[in-house]
Amino acid sequence: MAIEHADVLRAAHLARLGIDDADATRYVGDLSRILEMVDALQGVDTEGVAPLAHPLDATQPLRADEAIEPDRREAFQACAPSVSQGYYLVPRVVE
């Protein structure tokens, strides 16, 4: 399956990755070659084969719904670009 200029821009938007038209043109070439290689999978007979998400077929273990981690907000916010009074600051979202 080929990838078009519009597909690249759409993926970039979904991934919140700022790219311009010229970038997108370059990526069309790179990504097309990657997808061309990946397209070989279409020829593999996978009729009735269950997808494998985890190499050991493990299931997610459950634990009691109890808080086990201490509150370390200050330590975690020490590496944030912008915080105030315990909150993360971002540009205004609602006018």
Partner 1 sequence: MHDLTLAKIAQGLAKGEFSSRELTQHFLERIEKYDSRFNSFITVTGERALTRADAADTQRAAGQAGILSGVPLAYKDIFCTEDIRTSCGSKMLDNFKAPYNATVVEKLELAGTVNLGKTNMDEFAMGSSNETSFYGPVRNPWNTDLVPGGSSGGSAAAVAAGLAPAALGTDTGGSIRQPAAFCGITGLKPTYGRVSRYGMIAYASSLDQGGPMARSAEDCALLLNAMAGHDPRDSTSVSRAVPDYTQSLDAPLKGLKIGLPREYFGDGLDEGVERAVREAIAVYESLGASVIDVSLPHTQHAVPAYYVIAPAEASSNLSRYDGVRFGHRCDDPQDLMDLYKRSRAEAFGEEVKRRILIGTHTLSEGFFDAYYKKAQQVRRLIRQDFLDAFEKVDVLMGPAAPTTAFALGNKADPVQMYLQDIYTIAINLAGIPGISVPAGFHEGSPVGLQILGPHFGEAHLLNVAHQYQQATDWHTRQPDLP
First-to-last CA distance in the chain?
43
Distance CA 6, CA 14 (A): 12
Q: Are 21 and 6 in contact (CB under 8 A)?
A: no
- Rounded to whole angstroms, the Cα distance separating 55 from 30 reads 29
CB of 68 to partner 1, least distance (A): 8
Lay out the site mask for partner 1 across 59-78 (x = CB under 8 A, - = otherwise).
-xx-x--------x--xx-x
**Residues in touch with partner 1 (CB under 8 A):** 1, 3, 7-8, 10-12, 14-19, 27, 30-31, 33-35, 37-42, 44, 46, 49-56, 58, 60-61, 63, 72, 75-76, 78-82, 88, 90-93
